[in-house]
Structures are given as C-alpha cells and as structure tokens.
Structure 1
C-alpha cells in the first residue's frame, strides 16, 4: 500500500523526535558504557523506579503504536518497530523486571559490545534525524526517503 501524504508527514514528525533522542541518549550510553554497571545496579535497587520506568516505556510505546502504524518506507518501519520495542520492554519491566536486570548485568561485563550496539542505535538516530529535519518531504505518491 503506497504512503499517503498524511502517513509521510506523521513519519517525518516522529523521526524529528525519535532521531535526535536516539542520537543523544544512546550516544551518551555508548560513551559511558564502562561506567553504566553501578548506575544500573542502583536503578534496579528501587522497585518503584523500575515499575514507574516500565509504565512510562509502555505508555510511550503505545503512543507510537497508536499514532504511527505505517510500514510503507524504511523510516516508517523503523519508527513503528521502535514503538513496539518500547511497549514490549516496558511490559517486561513491569511484569518480570528480573529478566531485564539479568540482561543488563550480563551486558555490563562486555562494555565494548554495549558500545557497538548503542553505536548502531546512534547511526539509526542520525538517519532518522536526517529524514525528519533535513530531507525534503516527498509530495509525490511514489515512495521517497520517508
């Protein structure tokens, strides 16, 4: 199904928010990866903080799912998948936080792998930032960058 003008505009709007967020937040995590272990331990020491974070992740993911269910371009797919990722991660954090805690503990032992993973997220963020802020909106019915 070809993208409509509305779906392209919505993808562009979501890219304008998610792109810079990914660049900034995941970039900081990539740079600070060797120091993140104690921070993660402190995070999981407070069940209320874990629960509240899970609730916020679920809420943010559901917002993206509700307002951006488009799969007509690479950027639209990335944004929709990001919404599903947030929602699922939030639900797991609410229902089974020990699973996330174990994953964080394992990844803290290999900071280089964390840096590579979050470095990839930075590249995706740069691409979404380009799509949202720099690329010219495509007004034709054919698929463009969006």
Structure 2
C-alpha cells in the first residue's frame, strides 16, 4: 500500500523525536561502555525502578504502535519496529527481569560486539534525524 501524505508526515514527526534520541543515548552508551556494568547492576537491584522503566517502555512502545503502523519506507519500517521492540522489552522487563538481567550481564563480556551494536543504532538515529529534520518534506498527494 502506498504511503499517504498523513503517513509520511507522521513518519517525519516520529523521526524528528526518535532520530536525535537514538543518536544521543546509544552514543553515550558507546562512549561510556566501561561504566555500564555498575549501572546495570544498580538498576537491577531496585525492583520499583524496574517496574517503572518496564511500564514506561511498554507505554512508549504502545504509543508508537498506536500512532505509527506504517511499513511503506525504510524509515517508517524502522520506527514501527522500534515501537514493537519497546513494547516487548517493557513487558519482559516487568514479567521476567532476570532474563533481561542475564542478557545484560552476558553482554558485558562482549564489549566490542556491544559497541558495534549500539554504533549501528546510532547510524539508524542519524538516518532518522536526517529524514525528520533535514530531508525535504514529502510532497502532498493530489489537490
């Protein structure tokens, strides 16, 4: 199904928010990867914080799912997939935090791979920032 002017505008709006966020937050993680072990350890010691963050991830994911289910361009697909990822991650964090904790602990033994993974996320953020803020807005469909 071809994209409508509304879907293009919504993709651009989501890209304007998600793009810079995906550059800044994962970029800081890449730069401070050595500090992440202590941060992760402290995070999983606080069950209230786990629930709050899990609920917030679920809420943000559902927000994206509700307002951006478009699959007509690479940017739209990335945004929609990100919404599903956030929702799933939020549910898992609330329902099985030990699973997420084990994954996070295991990743601390593979820091170069983690850096590459977050570096890819930064590149996605740069692309979405370009789409949202720099690229020419899509033309309107029809009169």
Which of the five TM-score ranges fits, normalised by the shorter chain?
over 0.9
Residue in 1 that maps onto 2:114: 114
Tell me the TM-score normalised to structure 1 length.
0.95
Residue in 1 that maps onto 2:2: 2
Gaps of 5+ in 1: 142-146
The aligned runs of 1:1-146 (5 Å cut-off) are: 1-139=1-139, 141=141
How many matched pairs?
141
Distance 1:114 1:123 in 2: 14
Shift of 1:88: 0.2
Tell me the TM-score normalised to structure 2 length.
0.97
Gaps of 5+ in 2: none
Shift of 1:140: 5.6
RMSD: 0.8
For residues 40-67 of structure 1, give each alpha carbon's deviation from its aligned partner in whole angstroms, at most 9, with x where no partner exists: 0000000110111000000000000000
Shift of 1:34: 1.6
